[in-house]
């Protein structure tokens, strides 16, 4: 079963729009969603799913788009695209 189908996921009771704010990394949206994610029994699996699948949008496992990119950089170093930009 996918984390997206987990019957005990806290987000199943929350409208999807809260996890995909109009403004990326909106601190108010992130704080609201964090209330659900903090109590969620599949939070770590959700975050890992988003990281593994390079989910670019929304809040997953309580982490915003920017926070997930930072986690991926810590794990794998900067992306080749970012390395090229720094070299310019």
Task: Report domain extents, the chain.
Answer: 3-87
Closest Cα to residue 46, out of 77, 6, 86?
6
CA dist 42 and 31 (Å) reads 18
For residue 79, the model assigns a pLDDT of 61
* Integer angstrom CA distances of residue 45 from 22, 23, 41: 25, 25, 9
pLDDT of 29 reads: 84
Residue 25 confidence (pLDDT): 77
Q: Could you tell me which residues are beta bridge partners of residue 22?
A: none
pLDDT in tens, the chain (88 residues): 567 678 899 988 888 888 998 887 788 888 888 899 999 999 999 999 999 999 999 999 999 999 999 999 999 876 665 555 556 5
């Amino acid at each position: 079963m996918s984390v997206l189908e987990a019957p005990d996921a806290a987000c199943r009771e929350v409208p999807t729009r809260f996890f995909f704010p109009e403004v990326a990394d909106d601190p108010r949206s992130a704080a609201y969603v964090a209330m659900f994610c903090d109590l969620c029994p599949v939070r770590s699996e959700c975050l890992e799913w988003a990281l593994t699948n390079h989910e670019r949008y929304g809040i997953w496992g309580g982490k915003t788009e920017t926070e997930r990119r930072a986690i991926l950089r810590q794990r794998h170093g900067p992306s080749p695209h970012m390395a090229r930009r720094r070299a310019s």
